[in-house]
Amino acid sequence: MRGLRHLALKVRDLDRSRSFYEELFGMQVVWQPDPDNLYLSSGSDNLALHRIETSELADYADRRGQFMDHFGLIMDTPESVDRMFVQVDKQAVQLGARIIQRPKRHRDGSYSFYLADPDGNTVQVLYEPSISGQELVTKKQD
């Protein structure tokens, strides 16, 4: 096991979701095979965005909750969490984001805040002391 490095989300508006993840988290497009699918990367992680087909939109419209509780994006320090919070607070409406919970320190020493992306997926922006300082080591191909 090398870690959770890939996440795929279904989204209603591919362009809006792309802007959200590019502008707030600095992710970059690594591949767009067609107008309905987009792959972004932070350099160490991969996020796939798949547009919900028009014929399936009604299936998603009635849901009040989500099956996925949240996913987290790791930050290097508590201060970087605070800086991200200020940025989100300034750009939330423009990016289709919504702050769910302001920054707080957790019992385990971690520090985070929660926001919703344009499709309502909960994103935790997290400093986690046991992993935030880890450096990504890539294995060379022989």
Q: For the chain, what is the domain count?
A: 1
Which H, E and C letters describe 41-104, residue by residue? ECCCCEEEEEECCHHHHHHHHCCCCCCCCCEEEECCCHHHHHHHHHHHHHHHHHHCCEEEEEEE
Q: Quick check: is 102 in a domain?
A: yes
Query: pLDDT by residue (tens digit) across 18-62?
Result: 999 999 999 999 999 999 999 999 988 889 999 988 888 777 776
Which residues span the domain enclosing 81? 6-54+68-127
Q: Quick check: is 50 in a domain?
A: yes
CATH number of the domain residue 92 falls in = 3.10.180.10
Of 3, 80, 5, the C-alpha closest to 42 is: 5
Query: pLDDT by residue (tens digit) across 94-130?
Result: 999 999 999 999 998 999 999 999 988 999 999 988 7
Q: Quick check: is 59 in a domain?
A: no
Q: Quick check: is 109 in a domain?
A: yes
Distance between CA atoms of residues 119 and 13, nearest Å:
8
